[in-house]
Structure 1
Amino acid sequence: MNGWFVAAGTLLAAASFVHTVSGSRFYAQARPCRESGGGAYGAWLLGRCGFQLVTTDLVLGAAAFLSLGFGALPRSLPLELFLTAVYGGWSVAWPAALRCERASARYWRRLCHWVLFCTVAALAGIGAAH
């Protein structure tokens, strides 16, 4: 058993639940009228589809980490490094997007998902080393 991977998987499983329940409700409230001009609905719909990609990423990441952690999957350094890189990448890309958009401190606190991704990447890296 690798407790580091179990911890990473548990965090992602919890995040996927919160993301699906709270995030879906929050995102649905921002839905513009389909007939609204200026492409608002199309932009919202693209974001909605991206939202579901994140859901998939969280669920599959949780499954992979928990499977590695509990020994259901054999240890594989390339897989472990790939998972570390994915969440390391998320932990860089997310704040980079906030910075590019010059997001205020309010949004850095509200959209602090990058802290989760950085934590998961650290747990994955430590787990891969053990």
Structure 2
Amino acid sequence: MNAWFLSAGITAAAVAVIHAVAGGRDVARPLSASDLADEPRRTLHAVWHMVTADLTLAAAALIWLSPGNRPGGDTIAWLLAAHFVAYSAVFLTVTLRANWSRPLVRLPQWLLLLPVAVLAAVGTA
């Protein structure tokens, strides 16, 4: 049993639930009710749901890897770690470019995403 992969998968699953519940309330619903033009509004709404699916599938993949002895398991874990590093980097970049006070806590998603990357990467060692 690879406890690192299991921890990464459980953390990713928690991130998916937080995204679905808190993101639905704080992002998706207000976005759907906004005055943004119909096409970009619906596109952003679809992307939000795509991220929900993406986070859920990544969590499932990490949990699937946790028993060990999966063909290509370390490669898959490295790709998932890179995936979560990329998500973290996007949030950090967007956040740090905003002219906000305390920007790192205004969009704290990177704090949820980065631990998944670290746990998955450590699990490959």
TM-score (norm 2): 0.84
- Partner residue, 1:96: 93
Q: Are 2:120 and 1:119 aligned?
A: no
Greater CA radius of gyration, 1 or 2? 1
Aligned residues: 124
1:1-130 → structure 2 map (5 Å cutoff): 1-26=1-26, 27-32=28-33, 36=35, 39-71=36-68, 73-74=70-71, 76-100=73-97, 102-105=98-101, 108-129=104-125
Superposed CA deviations along residues 45-99 of structure 1, whole A, max 9, x for unmatched, are 2221111121011101110111111348445222121111111111112111222
**TM value normalised by structure 1:** 0.81
Aligned counterparts of 1:105 and 1:73: Cα–Cα separation in 2: 46
Q: Secondary structure at the match of 1:104?
A: coil
- Structure 2: how far apart are the matches of 1:46 and 1:17? 21
1:81–1:125 contact (8 Å) kept in structure 2: yes
| Identity percentage of aligned residues | 31
Contact 2:95-2:106 within 8 A present in 1 as well: no
Q: 1:49 to 1:72 in 2, by over 3 A?
A: farther
The structure-2 alpha-carbon separation of the partners of 1:57 and 1:103, relative to structure 1 and needing over 3 Å to count, comes to farther
What is the aligned-residue RMSD (CA, Å)? 2.2
Q: 1:103 to 1:43 in 2, by over 3 A?
A: farther
